[in-house]
Amino acid sequence: MTTEVRIPLTEFAADPIGALERVIERHETTIVERDGVPVARVSPVRGTTERRSRGSSRGRAALRAAFGGWSDVDTDRLLAEVYADRKADDRPAVAL
């Protein structure tokens, strides 16, 4: 989980490399403020610094329960119906 740190613009300007290293190493989002007003947000790049969650046991159980849910669908018939509906000219004309 990424934490959030607020720093004044003067502190960021004095040591921008140090501020960026803190974002990278500590996985912290840094909010840069000028006179107490946020002016910039520096965040770690998603996927490279955060560990991916393995999910909860409830989520894994729900995923396992969904396996095979579409196994009885005739995919060829479904695709034929989708493409036929796309070609159907039963929509009203758009008035611009």
pLDDT tens per residue across span 6-37: 999 999 999 999 999 988 888 889 999 999 99
Spans of all domains in the chain: 1-49
Model confidence band, residue 48 (pLDDT cutoffs 50, 70, 90): low
CATH number belonging to domain 1-49: 3.40.1620
Q: Residue 27: CB partners within 8 Å, gap ≥ 6?
A: 1, 2, 3, 44, 49, 50
CA 24/CA 42 separation, integer angstroms: 10
Whether residue 49 has pLDDT greater than 80: no
Q: Identify any residues that bridge with 17 across adjacent strands, giving them in sequence order.
A: none
Q: Kindly state the tokens that stand for 6.
A: 């607020």
Contact yes or no for 44/24 (Cβ under 8 A): yes
Identify the residue with better confidence: 64 or 14. 14
Locate all alpha helices (DSSP H) within the chain, ordered by sequence: 9-14, 16-26, 57-66, 75-87
Q: Does pLDDT of 52 surpass 80?
A: no
pTM, whole model, 2 decimals? 0.46
